[in-house]
Amino acid sequence: MQLVKPNRKYEKSWKEVLSELETEGLMGFFNPNPLEKTRDLDHYIKQTKDCEEGKNLPEDWVSSTTYWLVDNNKLIGQVNIRHKLTDSLKKLGGHIGYVIRPTARKMSYGTKILELALQKAESLGLKKVLITCDESNTASQKIIEKNKGVFQDKISGKDEPTLRYWIDL
């Protein structure tokens, strides 16, 4: 199991994951335009590279690095590591956001993707990271706590209260 940068090797698996996420009502993975469905892998890879380099970012976005969690040559999930926080990310979003494909949930992949992302965040020079989740997302709460997340507080969120956790690296 490893984190890799988005690449063409996993195109078939990527399309399967997008389909699974869309079934849940999500538009898919990282996308600067959340209303646009990501269907072209080359375009998607370019977007993630640009975002990592701080190029062509939408207003209020920060540089971030995107990784895919791969197990047995199958794409399992994605994590985005934001290089710094804005005022809005301090409230909602934090440094790290991740998603596990629906068919791979409840199999400890969430815990593993965050564990590996924390190592990547440390290599980016971060000393402490903020991670947030919706109050109703008990699976994410457990994942964060298993990775030594320390609860800070509960604040008003977009649709429901948001929980904020800090992890020292």
Q: Which CATH number fits domain 2-127: 3.40.630.30, 3.40.50.300, 2.170.120.40, 3.90.650.10?
A: 3.40.630.30
Domain locations in the chain?
2-127
Q: Enumerate residues 6+ apart whose C-beta is below 8 A from 41.
A: 6, 8, 11, 14
- Determine the 3-state secondary structure of 86 from DSSP: coil
- pLDDT averaged over every residue in the chain: 90
pLDDT exceeds 90 at position 95: yes
* Residue of higher predicted confidence among 3 and 158: 3
Question: How many Å apart are CA 45 and CA 79, to the nearest integer?
Answer: 14
**Token pair listed for 22:** 């869309």
Alpha-carbon dihedral sign for residues 81, 95, 38, 74: positive
Q: Residue 159's pLDDT is what?
A: 84
Per-residue pLDDT band for 136 (boundaries 50, 70, 90) equals very high
pLDDT exceeds 80 at position 130: yes
Render pLDDT for 22-75 as a digit per residue (tens, 0 to 9): 887 765 555 545 545 667 889 889 989 999 999 988 888 899 999 999 999 999
